[in-house]
Structure 1
């Protein structure tokens, strides 16, 4: 019986930030919508590191897959240093059947500039349907080509022509998989996300903590653990928020340029302000949201920054209040431009379309453009996945309405 071919995929998972541009990409969309379907439709087993069953150190089975897989696909998007390193390991171990890909805005570093990199378009939160179809076909065509006629694609074997690539002895005895000892990391994450969707944040927190013990340097898992920790409100709301803050500390929140981390820190301090009314938390929340907005120019950090500026303006008086309300107004105007640009692009294929519309809804309300607010609100309600989304938006707008009663710009 012919052995099934395998493909190992080198890439990050979850939501990652490209620090060169500040863009945030959901790499799971690339894997789940393009890479894995393209490979499995060809009858090839497809594995990513988070899908490997293992006990102990994940590096051991990962390196075995890098060496022994018939094909390796390396997605270099977001300049992920682990992906570049693992691509280098593959190039050192195997002369051919390695495919490098990336989203189209990546500018490759000099050392991989001579490597052919197939590019696709990523929208950030999602990938458009037509692009999924196009790149799947291109990937399948490339896989067929390199399997039928393998050519040296490793720069190591290109320049060191007499180099012989290694083979792993006793592979059968040193099985790559360890079925039945542990769930795969991807399964733990899947269960954790399911628990989150069911608002079972205590269970989700336990699962993300378990995932982090497997991959303890993964920023995405730490971010999700922080999120579920403060959402759990256990043992009480303030304690959960402070624990979530400590969970984020290893990501160097005071210095980071990761907009997901900045947005989470802003959200935690926002809730600490609401819980305690201590001004230090209010100022910290504004600082983190503002930094995220400057880096990313995104609607999430922008709409929350404008809201928190109104919170501070409400607590202040005189010129300080005027300054915060003016800045909040300007940020909202910028947020509207960001959201309208997204509305004019590929909105229907985005998984965050409700939040784009809800952000626009809140921004129009905050600027007093009530007819536009009502129109967008109706659109947002039509695409909401559940009452909790609408309730979240309505609660913030209700609070905003109260804050605006003290606006020194009311005559505007």
Structure 2
């Protein structure tokens, strides 16, 4: 018998072929040759650690789901590369975490950012300055990951760590307690829905009463985040936003460090009038956790507010440039998303450099295409109709703007969302064209403006 068969097996979970990274420009390669990454880096490290390397696409035929599940369960070690957001990789990580107590190690390029849940888990980071995996890159990857993998092989899966006795000896009292907790969570979620169903003028008082009821003792994360988002969506005045800030600042250190909470705190700071503090908070989050469309969009929006409020020409020029820069960086992360790109046409037209009108037109077409694609997919994004409304303003299409305003109103957006939409519409109105079109669009803004 071949002695190699007796070595423990390492099953590699990763994309294969050449894939786009959607990395922020200047922060990572445009594409990665994952086959080269496997051949030139991972195989050598796996063998050096004493394992026999196996990858899914090395089967002679298509690997069916049963084979994949078998290998995820029986492999002595599973390595998972999370550099790009690949659905199969994430799914297989979840299966391994549930199936085996130990022996799953996550890896990712040092410039990459992961989706929320896996971003909280420990991962081995490696340098990846280019995607062809040149010899010097392969050597640097091997040097970075070999000892780190060995040190994490015995790490416990989060599923087994969270549920004592999992999978076959779970304490029934614990199970009953969890069912009680889920029943309480269901009742709590019904109370939150009830608050959101009240007329807007009553919601903040109702929200604060619900917070008072649930914030008397330690809160689980799901309750804390639901209360935070409820307060956010009920806030209107600067005083309301200070209530949101007070709630967030009263959370545990662990919850305050969650990126979503950091983002919402920055939003609250901005609506409380503290734009510079909001920018500093988001920039710190980008530095530690990487850029996302949401974070760069937040930065673009805060600089846009500073631009609108500034009176000195040099300040307006500086804030406009920074707003455009952050929105452009966010747009380049994913051209299928429209949050960042939808803000650019009006800003290009305000800047008025040579070629800016052409840029505005090309980005506008990109925004409309992304929105229509989202509509066709049945997206429930509450910002979709608002984004199309802004695009109608940027296109000078008063008929479409009036129709979309009806749709926006029917969605019952929060006052802070309406104010954000109006801010974008007012910038677009500066380039609306003839007087008749401008008057019709100004009337749309007044329709939407909160009483």
TM-score, normalised by the number of residues in structure 2: 0.46
- Which residue matches 2:347? 308
Task: Label 1:363 to 1:169 Cα distance change in 2 as closer, same or farther (>3 A).
Answer: closer
1:272-291 alignment, distance < 5 Å: 272-277=306-311, 278=315, 279-291=317-329
Question: Residue 397 of structure 1: CA displacement?
Answer: 2.1
Structure 1, gaps ≥5 residues long: 1-18, 23-75, 96-102, 107-155, 157-163, 234-239, 314-319, 407-412
Alignment partners' CA distance in 2, 1:263 and 1:306: 14
1:144-293 alignment, distance < 5 Å: 182-199=218-235, 200-211=240-251, 213-215=253-255, 217-233=257-273, 240-253=274-287, 256-277=290-311, 278=315, 279-293=317-331
Question: Residue 286 of structure 1: CA displacement?
Answer: 0.5
Alignment partners' CA distance in 1, 2:328 and 2:424: 19
Alignment partners' CA distance in 1, 2:319 and 2:287: 14
Size of the alignment, in residue pairs? 250
Alignment partners' CA distance in 1, 2:401 and 2:171: 67
2:399 is the counterpart of 1:371:
yes
Q: Which has the larger radius of gyration?
A: 2
- Which residue matches 1:409? none
Task: Label 1:185 to 1:88 Cα distance change in 2 as closer, same or farther (>3 A).
Answer: same
Contact 2:234 2:414 in 1 (8 A): no
2:333 is the counterpart of 1:333:
no
- Which residue matches 2:421? 393
Question: Residue 216 of structure 1: CA displacement?
Answer: 5.1
- Which residue matches 2:75? none
Question: Residue 360 of structure 1: CA displacement?
Answer: 1.4
Task: Label 1:216 to 1:377 Cα distance change in 2 as closer, same or farther (>3 A).
Answer: closer
Post-superposition Cα deviations, 1:338-379, rounded to whole Å, max 9, x if no partner, equal 1122222314xx141xx2122212212212233333333333
Contact 1:256 1:262 in 2 (8 A): no
Look up the SS of the partner of 1:93 in the other structure.
coil
Post-superposition Cα deviations, 1:299-358, rounded to whole Å, max 9, x if no partner, equal 211111222222322xxxxxx2x42222112211211111122222314xx141xx2122
- Which residue matches 2:101? 93
TM-score, normalised by the number of residues in structure 1: 0.50
Alignment partners' CA distance in 2, 1:186 and 1:90: 21
Task: Label 1:205 to 1:293 Cα distance change in 2 as closer, same or farther (>3 A).
Answer: same
Task: Label 1:187 to 1:82 Cα distance change in 2 as closer, same or farther (>3 A).
Answer: farther
Alignment partners' CA distance in 1, 2:166 and 2:420: 57
Structure 2, gaps ≥5 residues long: 1-19, 24-81, 104-114, 119-156, 158-164, 182-215, 435-451
